[in-house]
Structure 1
Amino acid sequence: MDMEHTTEPIIGNLLNDDIFSNSIQGLLLLKKGTILNQTHIELLEKHLVDPFKVIPSFVSNSISVEQTYHSLLNEVKKVFSHILKREEEGVEQLLSHFSKMVELCLHDFSTLDIIHKHISQSDYIYQHSINVGIISALIGNVLGYSKKNCQLLGQMGLFHDIGMLTITPSILKKEGKLTEKEYKEIQKHTMLGKSILFSITQLDILISRTALLHHERINGKGYPCNRFEKDIPFMIQIVSVADAFNSMCTSDLYKDKKTYFEAIDELISEAYGNTLNPAIVIPFTQFIMRKQLFKKVKLNNNETAEIIFIHQNEPHLPLVRLKNNYVDLRKASPLKITSLA
């Protein structure tokens, strides 16, 4: 795999302030005036300090991400309408703009909060597409993919569900349980999406394959082809995880929005159940949970606790401080985290 460090843009920047550890109280890591190099960045990450947050020019990225996201939405709607007619108008420009969005998101770990802020039911498919693209790229970054492949993952996620726009609107907007016939109709979006995207010459061939295979599961119980893990490209399995996670974290006609903790718990259950690849799910959920270290959380018994330590293979069941005691949630079933306090 072609490896590149996404921290390259901040190497060589000057620190304006002293930087202290987030894991050891009061420990000075780097002094004001230090010029950042790769060793410094590794030190910061070891002590749970986001390297991008120590550089002033990156602090305002969350604002940039939100503005870029909303301007991108209208462009996605317009270009998708052309693609549905097998027209390539606007595709190249959309890829360029989406690439900038992904680049912003790889430098701003608050992205997940931003993209899940305002989900409109009328724009659900378009927002879901953008979100899955962003999350796919983030997962690629967590797994150590190159910038180029993170961008490709973003594009795979962006276009994965375009076939849903061909499904009869009355089925998509139906409240309540779908009939078996209606569910079979929705399943056709994978094959329809693949056919549409395959005709767009500006898109990588893996993008149309993603539209076809993103609902396949590693145990062979997905659709439309009942493929097993070895027959599903790993990058498409990444998009499947991103697709599942974003669906859990957004509400629609069928379900309520889950918190990140509830979604992580469900993702890991699916990984243990051999539907989603644990080699993707575990690193991704570790990444999210590490961002929650030392935060106050609500448990399912309504008590408030503080996350103290994240276990490597069971990140959804961390060590927490509950009142004056430490509780390992791995050993405290049925206690689990439900939300931020």
Structure 2
Amino acid sequence: MRLVHINLLQPGMKLGKRIYSEEGLVLLSEDVELTSRLIGRLKDLGVGYVYIKDAATEDIIVPEMLQEETRRKALVEIKQQFQSMSGLKTKNRIPHFGKALSGVMNAILEDIGSQKEAMIMLMDMNSSDFDLYNHSLNVCVYTLVLGVASGYTRQQLMEIGLGALLHDIGKTQIAPEILHKPSRLSDEEFKIIQQHTTYGHRILKDEPGIPLLSAHCALQHHERIDGSGYPFGLKDKEIHEYAKWIALADSYDAMTTNRVYKQALLPHQAVEVLYTGSGTLYEQRMLERFRDCVAIYPVGLSVTLSTGEVGVVAAIHPRVPQRPLIRVLKDADGQTLSSPYEINLSTALSVMITGVEGLEDTPSSAQSERLES
């Protein structure tokens, strides 16, 4: 299986993974043969990359962070609980949901714990658009991987996991026409959106089964260590460590998820943008831990090597995720090889990835625009 940029798709190619809508519904199933019309529709939906079945890479398996059943049940529960909040005023009595979401957390932790060395893999490369439910789940899973890597106890993982899962629950109190506005927010609209942090804290702080630290995650996940965040402009040690981890996962998922008006960045691009905030928005030590946990070149991605050869990422080395195993498909002259071979970049240290198929350039700090996730 390989990951192909939308502009490089050709009629006759077969999908390797399903394409999902923002509601989690299947738009196109695995093995569907693409037509010009379907490719055009995917472009209209803002899909940037899709997985394609390919004879030369048919044995390359794209790993999943969650089992499909765990993901499905989690999204159903998240959607149900978030929708139960919509339209309610935070001063009103809120239905209890701590027990239900604790069950979701246990299932997610079991899936992550079953992996020998859990890493942050893209979860929504094959979805058509950003939505609150998938975003909440993604941020939860990414944050838990960081928590595991940081040596957190089971209790701490439950606290930070619930905080991550519910970090944006305050958005259920924001008018849909503002929350889902497809164009840039006005200053006044952005101020309204910013209130989701305090709304979320009010919803969670007295909720049975939700730790108070989880409520603080909702309140602080947009604070930044230089004091430029909101709602209080807290600095450095004034911000709880949980909220700092969630801030990284939140920004990363926002950048790597498709939107109708903005195609997703690839992981290595998103990490580069995050690093522009090192020491100002995010702690450097946390960025380094985050980088070491992210598979910055997804399995299946076509890349160019410093040798001029072209290949596909075949596997990720868990200890050196920046140096994956590459299956070389074309030689330095651009000729397709009859017998592909593999280069392990974790040992072939003189060989570098110099390009990614479908990208004309890489992001700069100028691209780190105000992004409301």
- What's the TM-score, normalizing by structure 1? 0.67
CA distance 1:287–1:227, change in 2 (3 Å)? same
Summarize the Cα distance change of 1:336–1:64 in structure 2 as closer, same or farther, 3 Å threshold: closer
* One of 277, 281, 304 as aligned partner of 2:283: 277
Deviation per residue, 1:85-109 (Å, 9 max, x gap): 5434443022112221122024336
Shift of 1:245: 1.1
Q: Please point out which of 115, 120, 127 is paired with 2:123.
A: 115
Contact between 2:139 and 2:249, CA under 8 Å: does it hold in 1? Answer: yes
- The structure-2 alpha-carbon separation of the partners of 1:60 and 1:92, relative to structure 1 and needing over 3 Å to count, comes to farther
- Read off the aligned partner of 1:76 and give its amino acid letter: I
**Residues 38-87 of structure 1: CA distance to partner in whole angstroms, max 9, x if unpaired?**
xxxxxxxxxxxxxxxxxxxxx99949612210121111111223456543
Aligned residue number for residue 11 of structure 1: none
Higher strand share: 2
Asked if 1:173 is matched to 2:180, the reply is yes
| Equivalent in the alignment of 2:171 | 164
Q: Is residue 138–residue 150 contact of structure 1 (8 Å, CA) maintained in 2?
A: no
In structure 1, the partner of 2:209 is 202
What RMSD in Å do the two structures reach over aligned CA positions? 4.1
Amino acid at match of 2:197: T
1:183 alignment partner, one of 179, 182, 190: 190
Answer whether contact 1:191 1:212 (CA < 8 A) is retained: yes
- Percent identity over the alignment is 25
Residues 157-199 of structure 1 show CA distances to partners (whole Å, capped at 9, x for unaligned) of 0000011121111112222211111111111111111111123
Structure 1's consecutive aligned runs of 4 or more residues displaced over 6 angstroms after TM superposition are: 290-293, 314-318
Q: Which deviations, in whole Å up to 9, do the C-alpha atoms of 1:226-247 show, x marking residues without a partner?
A: 1111100112101111111111
In the other structure, the counterpart of 2:158 is: 151
Partner of 1:78: 80
Report the alpha carbon displacement of residue 111 of structure 1 after superposing the two structures with TM. Answer: 7.1
Q: Highest relative contact order (Cα 8 Å, sep 6+), 1 or 2?
A: 2
8 Å contact 1:299–1:339 — kept in the other structure?
no
Give SS of 2:229's match.
Answer: coil
C-alpha displacement of 1:205: 0.4
Q: Is the 8 A contact 1:141 1:150 kept in 2?
A: yes
Show structure 1 runs of 5+ residues with no match: 1-58, 330-334
User: Given residue 220 of structure 2, which amino acid in structure 1 is its aligned partner?
Assistant: L
CA distance in 2, matches of 1:128, 1:155: 14
SS of equivalent to 2:278: helix
1:225, distance to aligned residue in structure 2 (A) = 0.7
Tell me the residue number matched to 1:251.
258
Instruction: Provide the rounded CA distance (Å) in 2 between the counterparts of 1:60 and 1:338.
Output: 18
Tell me how far apart the structure 2 counterparts of residues 91 and 217 of structure 1 sit (CA, whole Å): 28
AA at the equivalent of 1:258: L
Equivalent position SS for 1:115? coil
Q: CA deviation at 1:338?
A: 4.4
Whole-angstrom distance in 1 between the partners of 2:197 and 2:186: 19
Q: Partner letter of residue 248 of structure 1?
A: M
Task: Please say if 1:66 is aligned against 2:68.
Answer: yes
- Post-superposition Cα deviations, 1:269-303, rounded to whole Å, max 9, x if no partner, equal 2225x21122111112122258879x863479x97
Distance 1:219 1:114, change over 3 A: closer
Query: How many angstroms apart in 1 are the aligned matches of 2:140 and 2:150?
Result: 15
